[in-house]
A = this chain, B = another copy of it.
Amino acid sequence: MDHPTFKAADPQYEARVRASFGRQEMMRTLGVRITSLGPGWIELEFDHDERFTQQHGFLHAGAIAAVLDSACGYAAFSLMPDDAAVLTVEYKINLLKPASHDRYKATGIVVRSGRTLTVCRGQIEPDSGEPIAIMTGTLATVTGTSIQH
């Protein structure tokens, strides 16, 4: 997916994204790394792990969704003001092919950036070959004392 061309509201967005990503125990547990990021997009990398497989030995759709959800969330978060939190409102995922590879790349991009709501698309590809899953998600910008949307 092509990277979008947004301007970040917060000049420190990269440090802010990396710090928040570092607090996601789920990403640490799944072994997901940030490979690159910019305003409105992020690329992640992760490896096959037997602890997260489904009944046929492929990566479980929930693991795939977790990575795509974080990809979409941090693409959105990169454009938010420095005092905002990001929450996932909803997403839809289509599983295109079995996740039977050794390593994967996940991309999240912002499609529409609004004051309250951001719409993102995500995609996961193996090291070589066709995408195995695509996501469309809605993320909320949350400010103030409550992080509940």
Q: Are A136 and B134 in contact (CB under 8 A)?
A: yes
Q: Are B94 and A89 in contact (CB under 8 A)?
A: yes
Count of identical protomers in the assembly: 4
Number of interface residues of A (CB under 8 A): 54
Classify the interface of chain A: helix, strand, loop or mixed. Answer: mixed
Over the window 76-107 of chain A, the binary record of Cβ atoms lying under 8 Å from chain B Cβ atoms (1 yes, 0 no) is 00000000010111111111111000000000
- Cβ contact of A66, chosen from B50, B66, B94, B121, cutoff 8 A: B66
Decide yes or no whether A119 CB sits under 8 A from chain B.
yes
For residue A62, which residues in chain B have a CB less than 8 angstroms away from its CB? 26, 30, 62-63, 65-67, 69-70
Taking Cβ atoms with an 8 Å cutoff, the residues of A that contact B are 20-21, 23-26, 28-30, 50-56, 60-63, 65-67, 69-70, 85, 87-98, 111-112, 114, 116-117, 119, 121, 130-131, 134, 136, 138, 140, 147-149
